[in-house]
Each structure stands twice: as C-alpha cells, then as structure tokens.
Chain A
Amino acid sequence: MVKQKFDSIIIGGGHNGLVTAIKLAKAGQRVLVLEAKDQFGGAAVTRGLAPGYNISAAAHLLHLLPKKLQRELRLEQFGLVLAAQNLKTIALDLAGNHVVFDGKNLSGGTAADQSHYPTYHRDMQELARFFAPLLASRAPRLARGKHEPHARAEKLRDACNLAMTGLRLRLLGRRRMRQMLRIIGMNAYDLVDEHFESPLVKGAIALDAVIGTEFAPRTPGTVISYLYRLGAEYAAGNSLAQPQGGMGSVSAALVKAAEAAGVTLKLKSPVARILVSRADSSQGYDDEYAPDYASGVVTVNGTEYHANHIVSNVDPKTTVLQLAGPQHFDTDFVRRINNIRMKGVSGKLHLALKALPEFKGLSRLELGNRLLIAPSSEAIERAIDPTKYGEFAEQPVLEITIPTLADPSLAPAGTHLLSAVVVGIPTELKGGWKAESRKALLKNVMAVLESYAPGIGKLVVQSELLTPSDIAEEFALPGGCWHQGSLTFDQFYFMRPTYGASQYQTPLKGLYLCGAGNHPGGGVMGLAGYNAAQQVLRHPIKNQNSKG
C-alpha cells in the first residue's frame, strides 16, 4: 500500500475544488486534488456530442464567476478567452414580437413596461449590490458553544460580520430596506405581477428566479433565489458571457492555474472513503475523550493519501454519509444532513445541427444571445407543476444558447450546436425512465422548439437530452440539483448546508466542505471554494511539514 502525505486533499476537481486548491497552494500548502472522472471541471466541462461537435455539457453560460476572483486567479493568463460577452436576453414570442433585455433597457412589451423597466432594474441592482458582498464572505454563525476551539476570535469575526450586514442594510435607506424585507419573502409570480404587464416580460424575469431550483414562480421564496442570482451577477460584472471552447475552458484555465501554483492533480482517482483516526495521548488528549479527526482518504483502487485537511468538493450529504460515514457524527447532525433537500427539475438538451436554425423574427446576429421560451409566468408554473408528481411537462420552458455563432470551433464548419436548459422534468419519473418516456419527453421539447423555429427538427444530426437523473449520474450531483442542495430559505446563508457545518467545516475535525452545497451556493461562481479555502487557512497545520 502506498502512502503519501499532503497538507490538504481536495476530493473532487470541480471548479470550486480547483479554486480551493489554488488558494491553498498559493498560501504555501502542499495540495492534492483527486478527481474521479477523466476530466476536471465537474459541471463546467466541454465534452463531445457527436464527432467534431463539442458541447458545454452542464453549465453553458459564464455569468456568475466574480471579476475579482478571475483577476486573482489570473484566469486570462491561463488561457480563458471569452468568445462573447454582454449577451442580451431575448424572450421569444410566437408571433415574432420578441422582448429584449439589454442591461437596463427593455425593448418590446408594453409601453408602460418599457418606461418602468429602468426603475425596476435600478432598484434590483441596489439590492444586488447589497447581496454581492454577502456571497463573497462566509456566513456568520449566530450562536456557538462556549467550549468550541477558537471560539472567541471566531465569535468576534461573526459579530463584526453581522454588524456590518446590519449596517449595510440600514444604509440601503428606509424605503429600500422596507422593500427588501418585504420582497425576500415573496414569490416571483407576485413580484413580476406588481411591476409589469406583458406576459413575456413577466415570464422572462420569473424564469430567472426559478431556473435551477425545484420551484415554480408562485412558490414563496423564489424571490430570494432571484436576488441571490442578481447578487452573484452583480459581483461578476453583470455580463452574460460565453467562453471560447465552451465552459470546459474555464476549468482548463483553473487547472493550469493550479498546476502553476504547484497543486498535484490526479484524474481517475475516485475516493472510496475518508480515513478517520482517533487522537491519542501524544496529541495531548485524554484517551477516553479523544476526538476523531479526518486524516486522509483512500481511493477505490486502494491508494491511501494522508493530509491534515480533507476538503470535499462533493455534496455535503454524500461527503458526510458515504465518504466519512455517519458513525463519526452525532445523530442530530446526521439527521439534518440526511434531510438536506436536493432536487432539480431542469434537464439539458444538446442538438448537433446541420445548419443554423431560423427563429421567427430573429436575425442571425441576435441568435447568438440567450434565448428564452417562457411565454408567461403561468406557463412556467404549468411546466413545473407536473414535476411535483413525478411527471414531465407538456410544454417545457427553455433557456437556449447557440454557442457556435460566437465560437465556430465547437462544431465542424458550417454546422451548429444548440444547448438548452429544459425546465419541467422531474428528478424521478413515476415508473422510472424508459426509452419510451425519454422519447415522449424529447418529442415535447422538440415540439416547443419547432413552434418557434420551424424546420429545426430536420436539421438535427444528433440529439441528447439529459434528465435530472442523468445529470445526477454524470456530474455527481444527487437529485440532479445544480446547487448541491435546493436554494430555499431554510437551506440558505447560515443554514447552508445545515447549521453546525455552515462555515465550510464539519463537526469532524479536519473535514471541510467546499462545494456549491455550501454558502453561497451553485452555478459556476467559485465563491464557495474561495470562502472554504479561507476557512481552511484559518486553522494552521500543527505538525509542520508544509513547504512554506
């Protein structure tokens, strides 16, 4: 058996894991990243669809990765090039009277909507500005035991954090503060209804609020997921972008940055379990009360790696219950971890196309933008409702990109790719997924597409429809939930993933979490990894073996 010793081991080479690894390595630690698949990047990957066609398989737009983080990690130097930036969002209309969202401007919709939109946009940006810094720092703990190590310093840090948040809330001004305290508890359906008239405008905004979650617009709490998204977009410079070479190039740049920082990266090394040891008298503990601590990992093929910090990019549930094992935690914590809800109702459609499809009323130039098929908030509601009962939507709601317009290298010359998020597919289909049900679902999706882009069906060379359960399997995201845990109030901020582990640190000494299942959550944002690294660095390594 081979044994190797590191300062930190990162389980899983998703974007968050890579960010953590880079940060730790830069601080002088010896870091190992273990990735189960043959490619780094987790849900930010580019992979083959058909010969010559390469697709961003899960995430397909870059809009949440903060500018500051990109600069800090020098992703540009490591090869990240944006093929397109500042994409507009176009809500498609069957008759071709599309609505275009371009920054603070709105075209299409009613005259009242157009004149109101800039005010609405400004209000929301103010709130986003409030949220942005909350995402880039760890969530405070509201209370902690008296006897926890480092309690005093940590308490002070949290108290300052809370006080700052309170102060910033006050600084919003009375009107905005009231507005925010009201709308965070609301549902997206009511919010858009209060502001706009045109169903297309309402649908587009409501979709922003619910995409990636399990909820329909009428569900309370959908505004908080909307504000969270706006906050992250604000930090990322409010630019919908498409990287050259697909989302995989974000991960590729991260890998290069990690290599440059001296991180040891290993592919095809799935971790079987986390090794847990018991402290002994040599570490100054009374044998009877000695705590367990995570001391390493063992891979499926039997290689052992040892480290002081084990940082898991895998979702919290799998990490605690399967990799570490429930026996190392108190029952109450295990129960809470077990109760984390992970559910996705979005799938992914990939089409390899012979030629560029024609959408009614859209020029070739406009086709490169983010296209939404969400005719109204009711339509989204109707698409998501069946998923509650394990059924899929008659008319799913779509978020479409055609990446080949900005980046022809993704497909053979003259051909195109279409990538779409399909909302309205249950995590588990009643009766399970069979070939027929997949076919029926694809038929529903294609029918929707066909009504907006007549003739698209005939252009299809190869199609692929990933259901949430496929996503769960391919990207190791249980339940097909992009965020490694639904973004709801009770799983938000200091309750993410659950209290007692909300600061990237589990009750098992030496075991940390850095995935999207932690604050601030999912999307290709990288902040969970960034915050986790900071938390790991707060705990110095006792047995000096680091190079720094």
Chain B
Amino acid sequence: MVNKTQSRDARNSRDSGAVKKQQSVQQTSSHRYDVVVIGSGHNGLVTASYLARAGLDVLVVEKNDYIGGAAVSRNLYKDFTYSNCSYVCSLLRPEIMRDLELPHHGLQVIPYEGGAVLMPGKQFLGSSNNHEIQRREFAKFSIRDSEAYDRLSRDVIRQCKFIKPLLLRTPPDPTSFKPRDLTELLYLGQKLHRLGEKQMHETMRFWTMSVSDFLDEYFESDLIKAMYAGSAIIGTALGPKSPGTAYVMLHHFMGDVDGAVGAWGFARGGMGSVTKALASSFRAAGGEIRTGDGVAQIRIKGGKAVGVVLESGEEIKAKRVISGADVRRTFTGMCDPSDLPAEFLQQVQNYKARGSSGKLNIALDGLPEFSALPKGSPFVTGDMHIRDSMESLERAYDDWKNGSWSEAPYVDMLIPSQIDPTMTADGKHYMTVFVQYCPYKLAAGEWTDARRKAFGDTVINAIAKHSPNFKSLILHAEVRTPWDIEREVGLTEGNIFQGELTMDQLLFNRPIPGYAQYHTPIDNLYLCGSTTHPGGGVMGAPGANAARTVLGDIGKLSRSLGQPSYRSLFYKSHGRTAKPIKAMSVAGSAP
C-alpha cells in the first residue's frame, strides 16, 4: 500500500511546479518512486498518466533520445516529418482520450475519406467512408458484391459491437475460482448467450475463420476480396487462408475517428503527436520522463521488483515496476533468469512474436501522379494499395515463410501531407509505405545494407509501375525491416503487435496463460504493452487495463476506471441488447 502522506506530498509537489521537479531529479539516487514505467510507448504513457492522475509518483524511462516507442514523428531528412513506425490513427480508445484530456494536450485526428486499390491498366477500385460511394465503387466490378457490402457492413459492425466492451476489461482466468474471475466468465458467457443462437455461432465462426473463407461468403470479385484481406494480414505472420485472420481484420475495423465507426485518420503532426499529447497529459499530472537511458535490468529482491538499473549504471528505486516492453524482451532481456520460475521462462521463450512487416518512409519533391487515378481524386488522400488477387497475397505469405520478401508485395501507402500540411514544406510531400510481408531473418542470411536496398527497390519499383513520375520525385527514402524495427523500437523480432494475434495468444492466453491479468510471477512487476490483452495497434487499452490492475492492487481504484459494473449480470436488459442494428457504413478498406 502506498503511504498516504507520501502520495499527498507528491500531489503538493506537482502544484508547486517546476522548481520542486528540479530537486527530485537530483535526488533520484535516493528517491524511491511509487512506480517506474519502462518505455515511453503509447501504452506505457497511458499507464503512467492514469497512475500519475491517481496521485502516484511516476517515472517513465526511455532508451531512445525521443519518446513515443512506435508512435513517433521524426525528422530524418531536412524538414520532413516522418511517422516512421505506426502511421494512421483510429483504434485509440475514446474513453482514454477523454480521461487523459488528449485533445486538450494537442491531439487532433483528421479523418481521411477513402483510398483505392490500384490495378494494372489504369483501373482502380476506390474505397470510401461513405457507404453509397463504396457501393458504387463495388458495383463497378460486381453488382452482387455491392449488395453483399450491406450484409458485410452489418455483420462486421455486429462483431465490433460485441468485442468493443471487452477491450477495456481484464480477461478472466478460466482456471481460477476467485469471485472476480467467475463473475467475469459469467459476464462473457452471458454476453455471448444474449446474442442468440445465430449471432453467437456467427461470432464464434468469425473468431476462428480465415479471412479468405469469410469473404468468400460475401463477395465474388477476387479484387474486392483482396481489398479486404489486406487489413486481415497486416502485421501478422499469417496468410489470408490461415484460420484466425478474420479476427485480425476486425482489429482494423473496431476503431473510430470522432465517432465515425471504422474510420481512420492522421494525427496532425504525425503519429508522434499521440505520444506527445500523452506525455503532456502525464507531465501535467506531475509525472516525469527520462530519455536516452534504457533499462538494463529490472532489480528483483526476494521475488519482488524493487527498481531498475539503467544502462548508464544508475539505479532507480521504485515500489512497482511496469514494463511497456513485450513479454519476451522484458523477461529474457531485462530479468535475471534465476529470478524466474523455470516453466514461466520456457513459456516466455515460446511466446510467438514474428516480424512480418517492413516500412518505407519517403520524402517526395511533389505529389506523385497515379496513372489509374484522375488528378485531384479524393481517393489519393487515403490508403492506396497495389494488389490484384487473393492468390498473390497468399503467395507473398509463402515467400515470407521461405525467408524472403515477395517480388509482388502487398503495399499500403499513404500521403498524409495532403491533409496535414505541418509535415512537410509547401509543395513537398511525405509518403508512408507499409509492406507486408518482410521477414525478420532472411533465408540468405542477416539483413545487410545491400539487401535492405534491394528490398526497398522492390517496393519502389512496384509503386513506380503505377506512378510514372514517382521515382523522379524521391528525395530520400528510409527503408525499415523487422530487424531495424526491433533494434530501434525494441519490438521483439519487429512484430508490430508485440506478439502474434492468434488464438493461442489472445484473451486469457495473452501473453502467457495464467498471467493475462497484467501481473507477472514477480511481485510488483507488471506488463502494460500490446503484448497483453487486447493486443496491438495504437489503442491504449492494454495500458489503461494495466493501470486499473495496479490501482486495484494498491486500493486506489477510482470508479471511472473500474470495470463496467456487474449489475447487468443480475438485471436482465434484453430490450437494450436486442435492438436491431441498422446497416452502417464501415470504412471501405481500413489499413
């Protein structure tokens, strides 16, 4: 339990501003924080902010010279701002935005309207947030599919509605007999049961199907299927024919921008603005961030975490340590194996995090023209893809399995500078290109500069086929492979979700069965990254859930952060849940 007077002191010191802060930095060697958070990624900052707001004395340590983890805006070439890891925003939970007052701290998310799939021979399939426009686009290829689109939107939104409330809940431990776990299991069971026979089974099928089979039940056009399948494979080491990918697709649909379901947008100023706002919110609550010095080791004494040792050798004492790193990095990289139970350590080593995505950040001298799209088309403002068939997606996956990048990669490219002028100088543009698949380790050996260049050229050539003036506009291109992402951001094997989103690593299995509730076998050591439920994306939910767990442990859980009440368990409210769902629009192709 936190000493009450001490936390009141912390609150006082916050009020009196910067002067006191200065003192506390000098005292660090003897100062004992309530909480030290490892890593200033978005989840780490969300946890830290919630805890600081509850009056705890929180320090965030970051190994890089800049904060943000994988949600960063960086200047790597002249005055171009790159969102050089994550690049679009949608999943960030609105509850967190409100609680932490992120708009007040400068976060502004601008939705984009739509995108397009570019095809060989001046054809394109547009995607749009507008349901009617989307239907028209589909009708270009198949009238039947444009009708099936209504059915798909309805069904996908149903799945989103089911899963959204689960994001901000701690998953139950099905092996436990604690009242909390039993009620939570009952809640889940009842929630499922209330869906009724048809919807319950459809939900279970949806969770376990491959996206290819799922889309086959709706569409006939291979192109339209390929357009949706893209969002189901992003970041995962699975192909569109692998069961479980339909769920990954959902992971890209359940976000919203300003209440527009399934919409995606750009954070003004790049994705770094998300973490910048979080950091600002955190600092306003009295928190402290230290950059440029990573954690070398988590100090464990008698089975309890007591602080961290930084790479510089400095030791920081804390009552609780919360790691924003993934479970493998936390336990195999920062802990002494002898402090961990052998079985747990083995499970950590078996945790699947596989790098499967690459990224190109390109500075452009002007707006490229796409031969398929008319100039000034609204579809250029959103996510553009190059793809022709489901088979090519699956074949790209097979290439990845064999340890090479595909000659015909799946490409998700956006030019955010069209909407957000703060990213580049006038007339210049910034393009972000996400590439699926790119292996962490090549069959031919390690990544070298030459191989990285070859990979980048493959992608650039693929784009240049659709944009005649693209190559001539390139001023600078940064090529990032999973290997680079691991080295820079600290994501194991460069997996963008801090671990595969497969059934064996979801819900109560994430990250390790028995440790899905943000606790670890070490007392006072917690996890708060995407490696925990509900997983990756710039969502913030794992961070908020971890904060709730910590506050619950020290008895400071405020009502607003608590799990939604269990009253619904005991008072039937069929009327509320049985409301018919109107066909709503889902953003055509969420990246």
Tell me if A488 and B243 are in contact (CB < 8 A).
yes
Given contact pairs A142-B193, A488-B243, A178 touches B350 in the complex (Cβ within 8 A): no
Given contact pairs A219-B243, A221-B208, A499 touches B513 in the complex (Cβ within 8 A): no
Instruction: Name the segment of A11-19, A182-190, A368-376 touching the other chain.
Output: A182-190
Say if the beta carbon of A23 comes within 8 Å of chain B: no
Tell me if A499 and B208 are in contact (CB < 8 A).
no
Say if the beta carbon of B174 comes within 8 Å of chain A: yes
Residues of B within 8 A of A385 (CB): 398, 401
B504 touches which of A186, A488, A494 (Cβ 8 Å): A186
Tell me if A178 and B398 are in contact (CB < 8 A).
no
Residues of A within 8 A of B398 (CB): 385
Q: Mask for A473-492, Cβ within 8 A of B = 1, else 0?
A: 00000000000000011100
CB distance from B567 to the nearest CB of A (A): 23
Instruction: Name the segment of B7-15, B113-121, B198-206 touching the other chain.
Output: B198-206
Tell me if A388 and B208 are in contact (CB < 8 A).
no
Q: Of all chain A residues, which has the CB nearest B245?
A: A220
Residues of A within 8 A of B134 (CB): none
Tell me if A490 and B197 are in contact (CB < 8 A).
no
Tell me if B352 and A190 are in contact (CB < 8 A).
yes
Tell me if A185 and B509 are in contact (CB < 8 A).
yes
CB distance from A238 to the nearest CB of B (A): 26
> Complex formed: what's the CA distance from A494 to B238 in Å?
26
B244 touches which of A141, A174, A221, A335 (Cβ 8 Å): A221
Given contact pairs A219-B242, A220-B242, A490 touches B394 in the complex (Cβ within 8 A): no
Interface residues of B in 500-534 (CB under 8 A from A): 502-506, 508-509, 513-514
Given contact pairs A341-B213, A489-B208, A490-B208, A220 touches B503 in the complex (Cβ within 8 A): yes
Tell me if B201 and A181 are in contact (CB < 8 A).
no
Given contact pairs A182-B509, A341-B213, A141 touches B197 in the complex (Cβ within 8 A): yes
Q: Of all chain A residues, which has the CB nearest B343?
A: A175
Given contact pairs A219-B243, A385-B398, A332 touches B198 in the complex (Cβ within 8 A): yes
Q: Of all chain A residues, which has the CB nearest B237?
A: A218
Residues of B within 8 A of A388 (CB): 241, 391, 394
Tell me if A220 and B502 are in contact (CB < 8 A).
yes
A389 touches which of B213, B395, B504 (Cβ 8 Å): B395
CB distance from A166 to the nearest CB of B (A): 9
> Complex formed: what's the CA distance from A170 to B175 in Å?
7
Q: Mask for B201-226, Cβ within 8 A of A = 1, else 0?
A: 10011001100010011000000000
Say if the beta carbon of A381 comes within 8 Å of chain B: yes
Tell me if A143 and B508 are in contact (CB < 8 A).
no
Say if the beta carbon of B341 comes within 8 Å of chain A: no
Tell me if B205 and A490 are in contact (CB < 8 A).
yes
Residues of B within 8 A of A489 (CB): 208-209, 243, 503
Tell me if A142 and B200 are in contact (CB < 8 A).
yes
Residues of A within 8 A of B502 (CB): 185-187, 220
Say if the beta carbon of A38 comes within 8 Å of chain B: no
Residues of A within 8 A of B238 (CB): 220
Residues of A within 8 A of B506 (CB): 185
Tell me if A490 and B209 are in contact (CB < 8 A).
yes
Say if the beta carbon of B196 comes within 8 Å of chain A: yes
Residues of B within 8 A of A (CB): 174-175, 192-193, 196-198, 200-201, 204-205, 208-209, 213, 216-217, 238, 241-244, 350, 352, 391, 394-395, 398, 401, 502-506, 508-509, 513-514
17 contacts between A and B (CB under 8 A): A143-B200, A144-B197, A170-B175, A177-B175, A178-B513, A185-B502, A185-B503, A185-B504, A186-B503, A219-B242, A219-B243, A220-B238, A220-B503, A339-B213, A388-B241, A494-B201, A495-B201
17 further A-B pairs in the complex, CB-CB below 8 A; given A185-B506, A218-B401, A388-B391: A143-B197, A143-B200, A144-B197, A179-B513, A181-B174, A181-B509, A181-B513, A183-B504, A185-B244, A186-B502, A186-B504, A187-B502, A218-B242, A388-B394, A489-B503, A490-B208, A499-B197
Closest CB pairs A-B (n = 9): A185-B503, A489-B208, A178-B513, A185-B504, A143-B197, A499-B201, A490-B205, A186-B504, A221-B243
